[in-house]
Amino acid sequence: MPIYNAPMEDIKFVLHDVLGAEKLTEIPDFADASADLIDQILEEGAKICEEVLFPLNQSGDEEGCTWKDGDVTTPKGFKEAYDAFTQAGWCGVSADPEFGGMGLPALVNTVMQEMICSANFSFGMYPGLSQGAYEALHHFGTQEQKDTYLPKLVTGEWSGTMCLTEPHCGTDLGLLRTKAEVDGDGYKITGTKIFISAGEHDLSENIIHLVLARLPDAPEGVKGISLFVVPKFMPEDMRRNGIACGSIEHKMGIHANSTCVMNLEDAKGWLVGEPHKGLKAMFVMMNAARLGVAMQGLGIAEVAYQNGLAYAKDRLQMRALDGVKFPDKPADPIIVHPDVRRMLLTSKAFCEGSRALSYWVGMNLDISLHHEDEATRKEADDLVQLLTPIVKAYQTDMGFEVSSLAMQIHGGHGYIREYGVEQYARDARIAMIYEGTNGIQALDLVGRKMGAHMGRYLRRFFHPVQEFIETNQTDEALQEFIFPLAKSFAKLQQATAMTAQKGLKDPTEAGAASVDYLRHFALVAMGYMWIQMVKISQEKLTSINGGGEGNKEFFEAKIKTAKFFFSRMLPEADWHFKAVMAGAESLMAHNESEF
């Protein structure tokens, strides 16, 4: 049977020692969000994840959702779990108090997303989609729309979706055909949407769909898309609206989440924001969703790692290469073997490094939205804009890889259902695809973020990294970390200049470099977070050795894990650098007939 324990010690280390999240209390909106309060809330969140959501993960996968005559039933126990989750207020952690939310930093919600996705990936998508709908309406809805929908979304009585994709268009939304025609005080909307996560289910009283469609006078392409709020039931009298689930998809993973085909036939909807400006509002949902998907990658990697580690400590096979380690046993646990340790340490180094990186993004998201100083808000938003495609793509790539490593550690037992890890690989795979495939994230990075505002986004990351390297390059205790980081960072700057220069002349060059450039960037960003964790851990150990309090083993392990990252994972950046510098020729030379 699989296991999951929320990694609270590491979560608190990142929040308080690495990021200093208590600084958020300097923002008036978060004045009461003390470190103690945040810890108490997250400890309660860990309990509901471990005790309520996780026990349903494997059974929910095996049972899946069922569709009959337009209605969808979620697996046994999900309704009760959803009621417990919503009644405890977890849908409104970071929501506006004006509409019943707790008003806590989004960073708290980011941490919760990790734990929820570790415990039950499929379940987490139901409140996750509601959060995206909440954000779009909170930013762009009229006051009447906010008053109507937000309180119910905050309590979880109503849930939300985002309806973008159609059978003939996914990434290229300019091709969408769903149409909206004026109908009294609103619009009649007709069309078909596919791959709609949580589009129909039995968990909430109502489902609020945010739908992209075209008005009759809409220009062609993405400049002609509008956003509409389309409730399943009319808010004023709960009459059924003209939107229904035609079927659910039969998928590789996330079986306990309903992925729906949604048919709209003269469904009543109301415009959100301005006509033909729907993508602007939808990207509010998308950006929030992309950080959420990054947390799915981390969450699934963490639980996969925990199960791989538990198995490696328990499974007896052969003896250690340098002699017997456990003479009282018929064989040594497989954790003694170098290759098993390689897989475990790759998983551990990723989880701990990406936890720091993604929480840093989450904290800057709070600053970008709530800080009183406009310049500070802009700087934080720049960093969030730059790093969001990076954490989405890298963390979901690695979430799948770590899940695969957990299966490999289990050997044949990893391929069967009993031990549960094959589910993690199946569930993890979708995160690399939805909310913009990881290839699209790479194109976003080189096509939009790299050149934005004359490189201003890049400077928000490059400058602090350069400053850290220059400030700490003479620190003897950091030498084995600072020089590999400096080398990889210098190559990232070189790759940036080359990609920008060639991309201006030929966009294909930027596209050819994009995936390797993103991975190189991600590794440098991870190295930047890891070296900060090393520096803090060294300081903590000095304090402990001098009689101070703290978990000595935790900080020693942190430094050892960092050594693995810098010696075994960061060097991957060199390979990606060479691929970037190779240019587009070898990718684009083939004629279609030559494939």
User: What pLDDT sits at residue 170?
Assistant: 76
pLDDT at 224 over 80: yes
Domain boundaries, the chain: 281-449, 456-587
pLDDT at 154 over 80: yes
pLDDT at 474 over 80: yes
Spatial contact of 408 and 343, defined as CB atoms under 8 Å apart: yes
pTM, whole model, 2 decimals?
0.97
Give the mean model confidence (pLDDT) for residues 244-267.
98
Contact residues for 556 (Cβ-Cβ < 8 A; gap 6+): 537, 541
Q: How far apart are CA 528 and CA 520, in angstroms?
A: 12
Q: pLDDT tens across 499-537, in order?
A: 999 999 999 999 999 999 999 999 999 999 999 999 999
Q: How far apart are CA 35 and CA 489, in angstroms?
A: 33
Residue environment code for 195-229, b if the CB has 16+ CB neighbours within 10 A, otherwise e = bbbbbbbebbebbbbbbbbbbeebeeeeebbbbbb
- % of the chain at pLDDT higher than 90: 94
User: What pLDDT sits at residue 171?
Assistant: 79
Q: pLDDT tens across 10-52, in order?
A: 999 999 999 999 999 999 999 999 999 999 999 999 999 999 9
How is residue 356 written in tokens?
A: 């720091």
SS3 170: coil
User: What pLDDT sits at residue 157?
Assistant: 98
User: What pLDDT sits at residue 234?
Assistant: 97
User: What pLDDT sits at residue 169?
Assistant: 85
The pLDDT mean for the chain works out to 96
User: What pLDDT sits at residue 172?
Assistant: 79
User: What pLDDT sits at residue 13?
Assistant: 98
Using pLDDT thresholds of 50, 70 and 90, give the confidence band for residue 288. Answer: confident
Longest dimension (CA), the chain: 82
Give the mean model confidence (pLDDT) for residues 532-545.
98
Catalytic positions are 435
Helical segments of 141-190, H only: 143-155
Q: How far apart are CA 214 and CA 220, in angstroms?
A: 9
Spatial contact of 371 and 384, defined as CB atoms under 8 Å apart: no
Q: pLDDT tens across 405-423, in order?
A: 999 999 999 999 999 999 9
User: What pLDDT sits at residue 242?
Assistant: 98
Q: pLDDT tens across 66-118, in order?
A: 999 999 999 999 999 999 999 999 999 999 999 999 999 999 999 999 999 99
Spatial contact of 357 and 525, defined as CB atoms under 8 Å apart: yes
Q: Is the CATH number 3.30.365.10 carried by domain 281-449?
A: no
Spatial contact of 192 and 261, defined as CB atoms under 8 Å apart: yes
pLDDT at 282 over 90: no
